[in-house]
Amino acid sequence: MKMDNSLLRLEKINKSFSSNKVLNSISLTIESGTCFAVVGENGAGKSTLMKIIGGIYRPDSGEIFMHGNKVRFASARDAIHHGISIVHQELSLASNLSVAQNIFCHREPVNSFGFIQWKKLYSDAADVLQKMGINIDPRAKCGDLSVGMQQIVEIAKAISLNSQLIIMDEPTSALSEKEIDHLYKIVQSLLDRKITVIFISHKLNEVFKIAKKIFVLRDGNLVGEKLTEETTREEIINLMVGRPLGDLFPPKNTNRGEIILSANNLKRKGVFNNISFTLYRGEILGFAGLVGAGRTEVARAMFGADPIDGGEIILDSKPFKPCNPRESIKRGLCYLTEDRKSLGLFLSMTVRMNIIAASLQSFVNKLGFYLFGEIKKQSTKYLEYMQIRPFNDQAYVINLSGGNQQKVLLAKWLCSNPKVLIADEPTRGVDIGAKAKIHRDLRQLAENGTGIIVISSELPEILGLCDRIVIFREGNVAAIIDNKNLTQEEVMLHATN
């Protein structure tokens, strides 16, 4: 009999939710001490497969083997006991507890009386962080850390479990470029210690940089298994979407209209200072800069979510002083937030109600009754236009994949017919096919006369999509440049010097 030297082997794993088949006869093998990537469009089955490996879901049929021995996980805790842990995309930290308490949650060292040994707890946490090369105070409250550092704490928690296999689900979605580079070093240190990593990401440049082998899922099927060094980005994209994708970015605008928005010397004490720029009808204007440079802060203030201490805004040729988001929406200035779950969507409500949420008053007649027929018509229109799956406007948003939630968020603002749309990280957490569609939708919206501001931490997206770029540095505008043959190096030079 042939020896099985694999760490993990799946054979013909099937999983359905009601009548929806999510995984169809998935078989794959994971060896020890290697980084594997799992890619696919939103809804392809990646998260479901990882939750089966992590003991959160049970397969309807099929078998799982570890070190050649058949296993069946009764729970996530059972999978952890077998050496498998997951770093989820959505953070699960207790913000009011310390870093150390979060790392060793329910596993704190205690004395014979059952009291926590605080000195040992902080020392053990410091050891884990030191092995990762991370300089975080174990006594610091997690709620006081940046989102990027909180993600690092999640990874530290998984490492502290002495896992043989760590699954990282979109671990870089909230990290800065510097933090991403550090994550690469952390992953390499895990591989050096013969710990296996499964890396899920929509960013194919990361996948090709970090993974030895790529598994491609499409519509619940394993459609490809490629060694990274023997494939190309184009081949992986074709496998993911099942069709030629075309250009990721649509052509730029060469015929912009008049000025639709101008900001003159906007100030907020301690946050940003003397911010001035113009936005034209039909233009996509990029906001670039390092994390913390002031891009989102300026956008939130213009939307009325945060105060402005000084300066002037002219919107559609009229003075505009943003008092609150409701007033901004009435004037036609809308803001697609980077935090879709907490600030952008009503997760416990249906897709239909989320789509019309920003334009609800336009669906009420003179007697104050809702126009349910028109609501249904509009929600169906945007369901089709944005290709939201499942195709059911009565589905609850909380049950949708992250990429489809992002499509609902964009549909909400499209439905409100904005004059100006500020899109903050509009493609965060979406697959390559959905990303290309969002780019096309934004360009189409601009061509219809809307002025668009795009904030993105991905420089290739800023350069590929935007007509001009405002570069922020330490709360100030460092430069405003026409995007003609502009390079990432030039942008970074302005952002850092």
Render pLDDT for 81-93 as a digit per residue (tens, 0 to 9).
999 999 887 777 8
Q: Give 315's strand partners.
A: 261, 318
Tell me the pLDDT tens digit for each residue of 283-295.
Answer: 999 999 987 789 9
Give residue 245's pLDDT band: very low, low, confident or very high (50, 70, 90).
Answer: low
| pLDDT confidence band for 268 (50 / 70 / 90) | very high
The mean pLDDT of 436-465, rounded to a whole number, is 92
- Residue 423 CB contacts under 8 Å (≥ 6 apart), including other chains: 336, 410, 442, 452, 453, 454, 455
Q: Which two tokens stand for residue 317?
A: 């040729």
CATH class of residue range 259-496: alpha beta
If pLDDT is split at 50, 70 and 90, which confidence band does 470 have? Answer: very high
Residue 481 has pLDDT above 80, yes or no: yes
What is the homologous superfamily of the domain 8-241 according to CATH? P-loop containing nucleotide triphosphate hydrolases (3.40.50.300)
| Amino acid 4: pLDDT | 61
Output the pLDDT for position 42.
75
pLDDT at 489 over 70: yes
pLDDT at residue 458 in the model = 84
pLDDT exceeds 50 at position 1 = no
N-to-C CA span, the chain: 64
C-beta of residue 205 within 8 angstroms of C-beta of residue 214: no
Q: What is the pLDDT of residues 368-425, one digit of tens each?
A: 898 999 999 999 999 998 888 888 999 999 888 777 888 999 999 999 999 999 999 9
Domain residue spans of the chain? 8-241, 259-496
Residue 244: per-residue pLDDT? 59
**In which band, very low, low, confident or very high, does the pLDDT at 101 lie, cut at 50, 70 and 90?**
very high
Work out whether strand 318-319 and strand 333-336 pair parallel, antiparallel, or are unpaired: unpaired
What digits encode the pLDDT tens for the residues 120-159?
999 999 999 988 888 889 999 998 887 778 888 988 998 8
> Stretch 275-280: mean pLDDT, rounded?
97
Mean pLDDT of 246-263: 86
Contact by Cβ (8 Å): 337, 424: yes
Q: What is the mean pLDDT of residues 99-107?
A: 93
At 51-63, the pLDDT tens digits run 999 999 999 999 9
For 96, how many CA atoms within 13 A lie in the half-sphere containing its CB?
0
Q: Is the pLDDT of residue 2 over 60?
A: no
The mean per-residue pLDDT over the stretch 63-81 comes to 93
SS (H, E, C) the chain: CCCCCCCEEEEEEEEEECCEEEEEEEEEEECCCCEEEEECCCCCCHHHHHHHHCCCCCCCEEEEEECCEEECCCCHHHHHHCCEEEECCCCCCCCCCEHHHHHCCCCCCECCCCCECHHHHHHHHHHHHHHHCCCCCCCCEHHHCCHHHHHHHHHHHHHHCCCCEEEEECCCCCCCHHHHHHHHHHHHHHHHCCCEEEEECCCHHHHHHHCCEEEEEECCEEEEEEEHHHCCHHHHHHHHHCCCCCCCCCCCCCCCCCEEEEEEEEEECCCEEEEEEEEECCCEEEEECCCCCCHHHHHHHHHCCCCCCEEEEEECCEECCCCCHHHHHHHCEEEECCCHHHHHCCCCCEHHHHHCHHHHHHHECCCCCECHHHHHHHHHHHHHHCCCCCCCCCCEHHHCCHHHHHHHHHHHHHHCCCCEEEEECCCCCCCHHHHHHHHHHHHHHHHCCCEEEEECCCHHHHHHHCCEEEEEECCEEEEEEECCCCCHHHHHHHHHC
Rounded to an integer, the average pLDDT of 312-338 is 93
Q: How many CB atoms lie within 10 A of CB 433?
A: 21
User: Does the pLDDT value for residue 174 go beyond 80?
Assistant: no
Of 253, 259, 256, 234, the residue nearest 245 (C-alpha): 234
Same fold for the pair 8-241 and 259-496:
yes
pTM: 0.70
Tell me the percentage of the chain whose pLDDT exceeds 70: 97
pLDDT for 231-244, tens place per residue?
Answer: 998 899 889 877 65
